[in-house]
Chain A
Amino acid sequence: MMNHKSTFGSMFTVIIGIAALGFGILEFVGGEWGPLTVDAGMFTAWRAVILICAGLIYLSSVTNFLDVRQLGKTVVASIMIWIVAAMDIWAMIAASIPSGAEEAGEPWFASGTEFLAAYGPPYMPAMYLLLPSLVILYFVGRRRLAR
């Protein structure tokens, strides 16, 4: 049973590690590919570095995955992805609230349609890593139960 979990965990870190590494490189390149976009901005290079490092940290914890030190590294890499994704979501929320109008008499808040449109694709790379990275919570929960 432990072996199963360890193999599953190692596979998980390999896949998400390579994905984070790839998305990090895409952040450096910039552009738009269907539902995936990379906005060139002040923090593009930061995001790229964070995703690449998260990918490398994931990959460094592939072997002996259930060891607490390795699991600690995977959790830290996941938190790095959550920070970037949370900031992408926060940027969407901040953009979805005001109407952007400047003249008197115009609405202050975005309409329902504008509000929803702000949450539609394309999304930044970290958003695609957010859900898979949450899998780490399963391993953390299992470990807690086992203790």
Chain B
Amino acid sequence: MAEPAPQRPGGQDFEQTLNQSDTNVARFENTDRTFLKSLQHFLHGNPTIVPVVILILGIVGFAVVTDGKFLSLYNMNVILQRVSIVGTLAAAQTLVILTAGIDLSIGALMVLMSMAMGHLAVSMGVPAPLAVLIGLGGGGLCGFLNGLLVTKVKLPPFITTLGTWRIFYALIFMVFGSQSIRGGDIDKVAPLLKFWGNVLVLGPVRLTYGSILLFVIFFVLWYVLTQTAWGRHVYAVGDDAEAAELSGMQSDRVLRQVYIVAGVVGGLAAWMAIGRLGSASPTSFAEANLESITAVVIGGISLFGGRGSIWGVFFGAIIVQVFDAGLSMTSLDTQAKYMALGVLIIVAVAMDQWIRKVSA
């Protein structure tokens, strides 16, 4: 038999020299960091700062351009009221995008559920609270369908929701027809459906219940994402699904739950939409899904999943409305408005990429 291998508890021969070697493995030139580098590091640690800065710049910019008219109470009230629907959808969208997915169907889901609530309550005589519950549950069910397709059939979220987007839209018109359900009819039998459109007057501030609910939704989501195990799992699954699975999380279950919660929140947005529009409208909010993605992206949530803060999205949603309202007050035409929003999206994502490079 062969000779026994020499055992040397101190390590291998060639490693003996290590004792004398420099203890630094690599060194970083920390001293001469440029301003940009420090900024980059700062933003990496505080990702919500970017949307806040954009928001402040936007408000100041529009205030200057419009001679302060932009800062009128009426305008501020209107912006807070408008943000509620797309902001709520953005909250739902955030959950999905944190898992490295995307939900193109969320806008259609909302319209479908608002038509369902309106139709059940007004045309079919279902008691309003039940109609609302069915709408919320239906949203969850639609989300569950997305979740099943993503986890069981293993379709990419983009494809899944591209498909369900079309399906939900078709269902709106096939099941409920193309005519709006009038505000007058809703008032008669189911004023509850318009609950979130009620206005809370606090001196000069006119907040709709919807904008208050938006804040509550974000607070709850913040709590869930940062203070509970489930929230950690959402981030982990989006960051690296395989790693999450190997370290003992049930990725697929988390994903399904994310889509269900997103669907229920979409149902909530449907309820709020009736409050804002006064009627249940099948033709409104045709681009709400894209607007929600815009808010999420501007809010600094990475489309690759796993990164970003929910408050960033809150500010992102407000930014979209601030730019929308501000640009309408300048005499720019509609297309120039779209163009400016397009530039905003690209700048936001480019910032995100730049900030992420810090760890590379």
Do these two chains really belong together in a complex? no
**Chain A contacts to B: CB under 8 angstroms:** none
**Chain B contacts to A: CB under 8 angstroms:** none
